[in-house]
Chain A
Amino acid sequence: MTMPSTSTQAEWPLWEVFVRPKAGLDHKHCGSLHAADAALAVQLARDVYTRRQEGVSVWVVRSSDITASDPGDKAMYFDPMADKVYRHPTFYELPAALDHM
């Protein structure tokens, strides 16, 4: 990906924020913010995304460190799965003896 080389250099880098709502659950992506470094990003994530008791743990990841699939590849990546219902376990009928699985 090419970025304009000058326009954003004076800004703090962007971070993606993941919050764990409570013990035992997964961290979930909840948004992004700008911060000078990782330590400040964690503090600001606490202030921006957990101020209404949303979480018990915060992760931050530099947005630029995330490699994403190309939206242009959507058709070949994801459409072929549309007609393959047999990949769901519910497609198969279980013998009566296993009915409570």
Chain B
Amino acid sequence: MAAALAGGSIALELTHPLRYVLRLADTALIHAQRLAEWCGHGPVLEEDIALTNMALDLLGQARALLTHAAHLHNGVQGGGLDEDQLAYLRNEADFFNLTLVEQPLRKSSAHAPGGDFADTVLRNFLLATWFKAVWMGLSSSTDVELRGIAAKAVKEARYHQQHAGDWVVRLGDGTPESARRLQAALARAWPYTAEMFAGDAVDEAASSTGLGPARASLRGAWLSEVQEVFAPALLPVPADTPFLSTGTQGRHSEHMGFILAELQSLQRQFPGGRW
């Protein structure tokens, strides 16, 4: 069994492969959680459904990855972890998502502007393009389960990329107001993209064992597809910044705790509750 911490949280024995899978799982999970905030609030009914569909696709990917992560953990540690425990009973420092997906999306706050539809379409596009590269890289994984998850998810990512990319072009090459808002959204999001391509021992181990691609190897394909959409959207690719976010190391921005409070509150108050 996984060790129990105060408050019913679980503690994990983290191996490199487990961290690698959790980075992808948590990025999909938290991105889904943010997108779900649009449910019932979309700018038009049709786009409301489109955004919610995407959130559900990502949640499905997160579920498959978390189930696999639980198997990896149980294989090493024994015990009966499952997807729900991983999602609802981990503490913040045991989540390894990209920091970008934690940032406020629909609701802005005093410390984080945003809340603009332009932020949503841009983040969707940047992430779908990244996920597509990840899934394609995982198509040759030595882990047969990951290969299966990737084969299904890459189709979803392709559609997310097309739909979000079309919106980026519409807003970028739309009215002066839509272009201004999209450029502001890009200025907010871009510094967080560096983490998509950072590298550490987890990436090196994944790459050398054939588990999956190191993040740094994805940058070429990602940037060229981003440029293909930015050009007709009249968006310049911003310069790189020295800032490097650290969500994939378990060190999160101030927004993460609030997301987990909302995401986990039910299982924390009613442990093991089912309905």
Query: Main SS of the interface on chain B?
Result: helix
In the complex, residue of chain B having the shortest beta-carbon distance to the beta carbon of A47: B50
In the complex, residue of chain B having the shortest beta-carbon distance to the beta carbon of A43: B163
Q: Which of B193-247 contact A (CB under 8 A)?
A: none
A36 and B166 alpha carbons, distance in the complex (Å):
12
Contact with A along B39-66 (1 / 0, CB 8 A): 0000011110110010000000000000
A47 and B45 alpha carbons, distance in the complex (Å):
11
* B50 lies within 8 A of A44 (CB): yes
A88 within 8 A of B: no
* B44 lies within 8 A of A12 (CB): yes
Q: For this complex, into which size category does the number of interface residues on chain B fall?
A: 10 to 19
| B119 shortest CB reach to chain A, Å | 19
B170 within 8 A of A: yes
| A47 shortest CB reach to chain B, Å | 4
A35 and B50 alpha carbons, distance in the complex (Å):
12
Residues of B within 8 A of A40 (CB): 166, 170
* A35 lies within 8 A of B53 (CB): no
A44 and B46 alpha carbons, distance in the complex (Å):
6
Residues of A within 8 A of B50 (CB): 43-44, 47-48
In the complex, residue of chain B having the shortest beta-carbon distance to the beta carbon of A37: B170
* A47 lies within 8 A of B53 (CB): yes
A44-B53 contact given A36-B170, A39-B166, CB 8 Å threshold: no
B162 within 8 A of A: yes
* A34 lies within 8 A of B46 (CB): yes
In the complex, residue of chain B having the shortest beta-carbon distance to the beta carbon of A11: B44
* B44 lies within 8 A of A34 (CB): yes
A33 within 8 A of B: yes
A47 and B44 alpha carbons, distance in the complex (Å):
13
A100 within 8 A of B: no
Q: Point out which of A35, A39, A44, A46 has the most chain B C-beta atoms below 10 A from its C-beta.
A: A44
Residues of A bordering B, CB below 8 Å? 12, 33-36, 39-40, 43-44, 46-48, 51
Q: What are 15 A-B contacts with C-beta separation under 8 Å?
A: A33-B45, A33-B46, A34-B45, A34-B46, A40-B166, A40-B170, A43-B50, A43-B166, A44-B50, A46-B159, A47-B49, A47-B50, A47-B53, A48-B49, A51-B53
Residues of B bordering A, CB below 8 Å? 44-47, 49-50, 53, 159, 162-163, 166, 170
